[in-house]
Structure 1
Amino acid sequence: MLLHIVVFLLTFCMMEFMAWFTHKYVMHGFLWNLHADHHKKDHDSWFERNDTFFIFYAVVSIGFFLLWQNNILEIGLAIGLGIFAYGLAYFIVHDIFIHQRFKLFRNANNIYAKGVRRAHKMHHKHIGKDDSECFGMLFVPFKYFKK
Structure 2
Amino acid sequence: MWIHILVFILTFCIMEFMAWFTHKYVMHGFLWSLHADHHKKDHDSWFERNDAFFIFYAVVSIGCFLLWQNGILEIGLSIGLGIFAYGLAYFIVHDVFIHQRFKLFRNANNIYAKGVRRAHKMHHKHIGKGDGECFGMLFVPLKYFKK
TM band (smaller chain): over 0.9
* Alpha-carbon distance in 1 for matches of 2:45, 2:62: 27
C-alpha deviation, 1:90, in angstroms: 0.1
C-alpha deviation, 1:80, in angstroms: 0.1
C-alpha deviation, 1:108, in angstroms: 0.0
C-alpha deviation, 1:139, in angstroms: 0.1
TM alignment of 1:62-77, pairs within 5 A: 62-77=62-77
1:70-108 deviation per Cα after TM superposition (whole angstroms, max 9, x unaligned): 000000000000000000000000000000000000000
Q: 1:134 corresponds to which residue?
A: 134
- Identity, % of aligned positions: 90
TM alignment of 1:54-133, pairs within 5 A: 54-133=54-133
* Alpha-carbon distance in 1 for matches of 2:56, 2:47: 15
* Alpha-carbon distance in 1 for matches of 2:25, 2:64: 24
SS at match of 1:138: coil
* Alpha-carbon distance in 2 for matches of 1:48, 1:12: 25
Q: Give the gaps of 5 or more residues in structure 1.
A: none
Task: Tell me the matched-pair count.
Answer: 147
* Alpha-carbon distance in 1 for matches of 2:82, 2:43: 33
Q: 2:30 corresponds to which residue?
A: 30
SS at match of 1:82: helix
- Which TM-score applies when normalising by structure 2? 1.00
* Alpha-carbon distance in 1 for matches of 2:132, 2:122: 8
1:14-65 deviation per Cα after TM superposition (whole angstroms, max 9, x unaligned): 0000000000000000000000000000011111110111111101100000
* Alpha-carbon distance in 1 for matches of 2:145, 2:114: 7
Aligned structure 1 segments of 4 or more residues deviating by more than 2 angstroms: none
Q: Give the gaps of 5 or more residues in structure 2.
A: none
- Which TM-score applies when normalising by structure 1? 1.00
C-alpha deviation, 1:3, in angstroms: 0.2
Q: 1:13 corresponds to which residue?
A: 13
C-alpha deviation, 1:12, in angstroms: 0.1
* Alpha-carbon distance in 2 for matches of 1:58, 1:47: 17
C-alpha deviation, 1:125, in angstroms: 0.2
* Alpha-carbon distance in 2 for matches of 1:111, 1:129: 29
